[in-house]
A = this chain, B = another copy of it.
Amino acid sequence: MSFEAQSFLSSVAHRLRASEIRELLKLLDHPEMISFAGGLPNPAAFPRDAIQEVVGHVMTSHAAEALQYGPTEGHHRLRRAIAGGMGARYGAPQEVDNILITTGSQQALSLLAQIVLDPGDSVFTANPTYLGALLTFNAASSRVEGIACDEQGLIPEALERRIDELAAAGARAKLLYLVPTFDNPTGVTMPEDRRRRVYEIACERELLIAEDDPYGLLRYDGKNVPLLKSIDTEGRVAYLGTFSKILAPGFRVGWLAADPLLIRKAVLAKQAQDLCTTTFSQYCIFEIIHDNALFPHIERIKSIYRAKRDLMLRAAERMLPREVRFSRPEGGLFLWVELPPELDALALLPKAMDRGVAYVIGRPFFTDDSGRNTFRMNFSYASDDRIEEGVRRLAEVIAAALEDSRAIERPDRIGIF
């Protein structure tokens, strides 16, 4: 009998499928393509000089520790710096025992899913929500309940209603996953009063909240809104942080800030998953924080990204057909676009790519296969001069598609077919 890998796959493996987005992104390698598709920081926003300096310092002064295995919990001084920073910068003070360093915040989410969710457990998310979270919940065999959103994010009444429906059917709701600040994909920030209402519901209905906050420090204008974690008084919020967007994703360092029991269990799950996060990266990041170089650098990133957002918004306002709606985010990396309902963003994409511009279609971010007329545009990655040109090409593609759809509709209306 010969080896058939297919016959060895677990039920989880059968459920894991390559995303359409991923396949499409492979076509983006062409250097002429103007890509608004990814979610990548701009390499110009990496603090190369500071990193070069700390990398040298770590090798000279801490090589024996930085090249060795480290504690699963993470480098103690980095955990302490994060615990302190969450108080000083986020109004959500933590103890070291509340902090676990993870391989990016994606791992923080996957560990949390593993220690909290049994197969079939319900997870609430905004609809649409971050695709990577949907992947994690899918891998955890969870049942995802996407909750309707408006321009302030997830609608509390819709959440309450759905929890109660599930409770009536005998199912227990366990986890609410949110990107409340500069959401991915929509860019929306949930206002303070709605956060307080959502937190109240979580307390009343016994939910754990996972607050994913990769972009929170990248605010370009408007007023800071308190974190769910800073509203939280009892450890009900598990906060997912990352250095990917404010420093460099290539280090793969994020963290989980949560109740100490959840941290202890997540440490054990992490031991089984990868033993510890890259020690070398952790030492480098600690040194950057220790040198007081992180927050000045974040100010620099903000001025780069603010200018890019403004460029994209101005171009969109000037050039996109009036029928197209788009968000005006106060921070983060993304604009969210809604085409008129008769247009399909997936059908449009090959035409856009033929014109040398790409975006990510919205549908995979939805939990119910809706959003066919939506897409996401990233403004952090493209160079300034290509942002306007990219939006111009997109505007032409959309305008032509609108023209076509009207040409089809019109004869229909006068009854020729």
Contacts and interface: CB of A to CB of B under 8 A. Distances in A.
Interface residues of A, number: 84
B274 A104 contact: yes
Contact of A13 (B48, B69, B115, B174): B115
A273 B48 CA distance: 28
Contacts of A68: 40-41, 43, 46, 248-250
Contacts of A110: 272-274
A274 B51 contact: no
A203 B252 CA distance: 39
B67 A59 contact: no
Interface string A242-278: 0010001111100000011110110011011111111
A170 B114 CA distance: 29
Contacts of A272: 16, 106, 110, 132, 135-136, 138-139
Contacts of A118: 10-12
The oligomer's copy count stands at 2
Contacts of A65: 250
Contacts of A66: 250
A107 interface: yes
A215 to B, nearest CB: 15
Contacts of A55: 55-56, 59
A72 to B, nearest CB: 9
A8 B48 CA distance: 42
A10 B3 CA distance: 35
B251 A13 contact: no
21 contacts: A1-B203, A3-B208, A6-B261, A9-B265, A10-B117, A13-B265, A51-B59, A52-B59, A55-B55, A65-B250, A67-B251, A70-B250, A103-B252, A103-B277, A110-B274, A136-B272, A139-B269, A249-B279, A252-B274, A252-B278, A278-B278
Given A18-B268, A55-B56, A106-B273, 15 more contacts: A3-B203, A16-B268, A18-B264, A43-B64, A43-B67, A46-B63, A52-B59, A52-B60, A66-B250, A68-B250, A107-B273, A107-B274, A139-B272, A139-B273, A252-B275
